[in-house]
Copies of this chain bind each other. A is one copy, B any other.
């Protein structure tokens, strides 16, 4: 019995697109791909914006600058979109899905913006919409949530899903350096953009939290805002204090259940206990930590970026879409649970680390402690560094409502003995819900 032939088109030939073309054409993989796809995959076109740029490894005859023409080809089976950005990528994907062509994309921004609509379009037309590479590069976490964990009730997901910020925080930790020089090093090595705000302000992580949350909990993908705090305010002194207390600082994307029908989604720096598996995620690596009601904790770790690692995730999706196409079925990308509501971060509970610059004079601690007490925030430990005008108080609270901690910070700012608030960072532990 000869295998059916499926026609694949690719839009975008940057790092990921070029790597995918190489994987699809690699003779040493031919047998494995045929086996896994249950079909022969024929690459019929690669659409790029600029035809004059050299594309080593991409057969010249396949190149065109007509992406829409490729997406709307009558004989296409699978469209891969790895150009990025919202438009025109969205238009190409809609053209393909509208004709029942399955789509594989790595586009986290587009999925976070319009995923629910695109998923419906795919389903209505009997096509697959897969986007494994949109989160965590090579890490196959999305398929695991869709399949292996489809029957499990997920309680919380915490991810290190931005390699740039993890690289910067790892540098600050291993070299006791401050934020600015660590950012400079990340930029020199190509890990951070000249304008690093999408990474360091947490926008990239927030889009990924939205994508993971839709699969873990059934929250919609419709450009909703995730509460977001970046790493620009993390200082060497906080990293050092964290280390002394047995923690490392990581930028976490979190999605978790709060009460029977609430979901909190947010991005923020966190104190992670040194013994926690997430603490061992170094440099530009990514990881996603999932707590299921019955599975217990699970973690996935891997390269969060890079042409080939990301292309392997895209390839996994192409093979899945191919198998489905051959057997005439399609998967439902995710199901929206309408009974859920978003819980504001202020209403969530956590242990907090706070540092204050204070005047070292009699009665300061008493007045500071009084502010904590008035807002119902109790203190687990306190340490003072330095004396006189340089004094700094570092606190770790017991589990407290975030809104109460915010109110405590407001109250502390009004004290004349408090020069400034240095940091207010969540501490991940058993007490956080």
**Which of A140, A144, A151, A295 has the largest count of B CB atoms less than 10 A from its CB?**
A151
Which residues from 7 to 63 on chain A have a C-beta closer than 8 Å to any C-beta of chain B?
19, 23, 28-29, 32-33, 35-36
- Residue from the list B139, B281, B316 in contact with A150, Cβ < 8 A: B316
Min CB distance, A320 to chain B, in Å?
Answer: 6
- CB of A302 within 8 A of CB of B309, answer no
Chain B residues in 8 Å Cβ range of A292: 138, 312
A-B contact pairs, 25 of them (CB 8 A): A23-B294, A28-B153, A32-B151, A35-B332, A132-B148, A138-B296, A139-B298, A143-B143, A143-B144, A147-B316, A150-B319, A275-B280, A275-B282, A277-B280, A277-B281, A280-B280, A294-B308, A294-B311, A297-B303, A298-B303, A299-B301, A299-B302, A300-B301, A327-B327, A329-B329
Min CB distance, A401 to chain B, in Å?
Answer: 27
- CB of A312 within 8 A of CB of B295, answer yes
- Residue from the list B36, B275, B297 in contact with A151, Cβ < 8 A: B36
Chain B residues in 8 Å Cβ range of A277: 277, 280-281, 301
**Which of A28, A152, A318, A332 has the largest count of B CB atoms less than 10 A from its CB?**
A152
Number of interface residues of A (CB under 8 A): 54
Q: How far is the CA of A149 from the CA of B35 in the complex (A)?
A: 12
- CB of B23 within 8 A of CB of A315, answer no
Q: How far is the CA of A177 from the CA of B152 in the complex (A)?
A: 38
Residue A335 is within 8 A (CB to CB) of chain B in the complex: yes
